[in-house]
Amino acid sequence: MDLSRQKKAPIYEALERFRKLHVVPFDVPGHKRGRGNPELVNFLGQQCVGVDVNSMKPLDNLCHPISIIKEAEELAADAFGAAHSFLMVGGTTSAVQAMVLTACKAGDKIILPRNVHKSAINALVLCGATPVYIDPKVDKELGIPLGMEVSDVKKAMDENPDAKAVLINNPTYYGICSDLRSIVKLAHEHHMLALVDEAHGTHFYFSDKLPCSGMEAGADMCSVSMHKSGGSLTQSSLLLLGPSMNPGYVRQIINLTQTTSGSYLLMASLDLSRRNLALRGKESFEKVARMAQYARDEINAIGGYYAYGRELINGGSVYDFDVTKLAVLTHKIGLAGIEVYDLLRDEYDIQMEFGDISNILAYISIGDSIQDIERLVGALADIYRLYAKPEKKLFSAEYISPEVVTTPQTAFYAEKESLPIEKCAGRVCAESVMCYPPGIPILAPGEVVTKDIIEYIRFAKEKGCSMQGPESDDISHLNVLKEGTY
């Protein structure tokens, strides 16, 4: 990484120059630097709306960059050790989908863990690729899916030598990492692309004390959520390419679905955040790791809770662990994670990243302080004292192995009917159902609905998990394939 070049922020600098020109706007957006919408100015401020501008010659164009955006992408590639990078303004969802759509056409196979984010499964709906799912091992005590075992990946590759790619989560939402180097090596030995969803791994690129990053492992493409741990604005991400990829073709794929009106607010935030990480990321993320470890130690000292960390590493399904993640098991105090999540928000004004059946997750980042950590620890101690109940058996896993009948695209576009969910057992689902976050489908199109899955959905709804996916707003009905159509 060239640190002298990394001090530049070409999009930000161009916007600052543009701001001083006082150009009369006869282009979009229609608020005309805020003059047409004073309420928006009052809410966001003149600084913000004044640079919410359209693509023009001095500011380049995201669809086909030739000047400042091109330079910003080159700087991002340098900072992340990639051959090329793209600024993504549709979030990491658009980056994951660009990876899948680049690697696969209709009928192609792709190997992926079933606990992928919904963006990957939705990409299969769009392109018609056939998934070869690897069911992850599950830690039944924690109720979380683990990483991909190298032996399971090899078996899938040997049985599907015509697969075009393998997709790896690095890390999972809970901080679990697979043996990324070995999986990438296996993919290349089998002439497959290695695609890495690093929505939760931006910080891996800026500290040698954290798990291996996708580019370091030799991956072909990586999707990086800069807005999560990297400090940029929500919905801004990066797509990184290794040297084997054709950036011109990838750009064409991105342009199939990404907006032609790229937000300069999002792009400038990527530019500034990249500069910040390149210059100060190492010390920042090592501080984050120390704060998260302090939090684990303090929470575990309360009793009842279990804030887990590197002790989970087993060399296989937990090859490594992201120590910046603060996931806490709650069910031993008789409360589901979502119940503790609700208490923290409603009674203590503390907003967690999510609560599931068994866990809560605090996202510790460069914007947190030790005072914030201490407030969280104090609130958890209070909840333990005031609300703890005798431990009761909750669901043993957040992941139920699916029975796949047909591809997501075939199921999504097939003839279907809507049935009350309790009457769907044995039928093939035509849509996704998930708790969001984390956005890992409990059901995906093309999978058999079972009694266990129906009971899990009912239990998650009862506990207050945010459910998404079906057409039915209250998740009382599911779209299933008409009998005889599969």
Same structural domain, 300 and 367: yes
Query: Domain for residue 441, yes or no?
Result: yes
Element (H, E) at 86: strand 84-88
Distance CA 346, CA 57 (A): 49
Do residues 420 and 381 share a domain?
A: no
Closest CA to 241 of 261, 223, 266, 259: 223
Which long-range contacts does 304-307 make (Cβ < 8 Å, 24+ apart)? 304/332, 304/333, 304/384, 304/388, 305/329, 305/330, 305/332, 305/333, 305/380, 305/384, 306/142, 306/332
287, 376: one domain: yes
Using the Cα atoms of residue 151, residue 152, residue 157 and residue 158 in order, give the sign of their dihedral: positive
Beginning with the edge strand found earlier in the chain, give each strand of the sheet holding 165-169 in spatial order. 84-88, 237-241, 221-224, 193-198, 165-169, 109-113, 130-134
C-alpha closest to that of 200 among 227, 180, 179, 218:
227
- Which residues have C-beta within 8 Å of that of residue 128, sequence separation ≥ 6? 105, 106, 107, 407, 409
pLDDT of residue 128: 96
Q: Do the domain assignments include residue 445?
A: yes
Looking at residue 466, what is its pLDDT? 86
| 3-class DSSP assignment, residue 409 | helix
Distance of alpha carbon 480 from alpha carbon 470, whole angstroms = 10
**Of 120, 270, 105, nearest in space to 195 by CA:** 120
Q: The domain spanning residue 422 has which CATH number? A: 3.90.100.10
| Residue 316 sits in the same domain as residue 377 | yes
Structural domain count of the chain: 2
- pLDDT tens over the chain, length 486 residues: 888 999 999 999 999 999 999 899 999 999 999 999 999 999 999 999 999 999 999 999 999 999 999 999 999 999 999 999 999 999 999 999 999 999 999 999 999 999 899 999 999 999 999 999 998 888 988 989 999 999 999 999 999 999 999 999 999 999 999 999 999 999 999 999 999 999 999 999 999 999 999 999 999 999 999 999 999 999 999 999 999 999 999 999 999 999 999 999 999 999 999 999 999 999 999 999 999 999 999 999 999 999 999 999 999 999 999 999 999 999 999 999 999 999 999 999 999 999 998 999 999 999 999 999 999 999 999 999 999 999 876 555 556 778 899 999 999 999 999 999 999 999 999 999 998 878 888 999 999 999 999 998 998 888 888 889 999 999 999 999 998 776
The alpha carbons of the chain give a radius of gyration, in whole angstroms, of 23
338 with 383, same domain: the answer is yes
Rounded CA separation 402/384 (Å): 36
- Same domain for 357 and 414: no
Residue 191 has a pLDDT of: 98
Residues 341, 298 share a domain: yes
Looking at the structure, tell me whether residues 378 and 309 fall in a common domain: yes
Written as six digits, the tokens of 26 are 């006869």
CATH code of the domain containing 331:
3.90.1150.10
Task: Determine contact, residues 305/332, Cβ cutoff 8 Å.
Answer: yes
Going from the C-alpha of 457 to that of each of 244, 330, 411, 471, the distances in angstroms are: 42, 19, 20, 15
Question: Which one, of 416, 400, 402, lies nearest residue 486 by Cα?
Answer: 416
CB 147 within 8 A of CB 178: yes
> Tens of pLDDT along 39-75?
999 999 999 999 999 999 999 999 999 999 999 999 9
Structural domain harbouring 469:
408-481
Tens-digit pLDDT profile for residues 240-257: 999 999 999 999 999 999
The whole model's pTM is what? Answer: 0.94
Q: Does one domain contain both 336 and 432?
A: no
Is residue 422 located within the same domain as residue 370?
no
Q: Is residue 451 part of a domain?
A: yes
Contact at 8 Å (CB) between 96 and 165?
Answer: no
Q: Is 303 a member of any domain?
A: yes
Of 355, 387, 419, the residue at which a domain comes to its end is: 387
Which residue pairs, CB below 8 angstroms and at least 24 apart, start in 129-137? 129/100, 129/104, 129/105, 129/164, 129/407, 129/409, 130/407, 131/404, 131/407, 131/408, 132/156, 132/159, 132/160, 132/163, 133/402, 133/404, 135/399, 135/401, 136/317, 136/399, 137/316, 137/317
Residue 217 · residue 181 · CB < 8 Å? yes
413 and 373, same structural domain?
Answer: no
309 and 363 co-located in one domain: yes
* Residue 84 placed within a domain: no
Residues comprising the chain, all counted: 486
Position 275 in a domain = no
SS3 content of the chain, % helix, strand, coil (to 5): 40, 15, 40
Distance from chain centroid for Cα 71? 26
Is the CB of residue 192 less than 8 Å from the CB of residue 164? yes
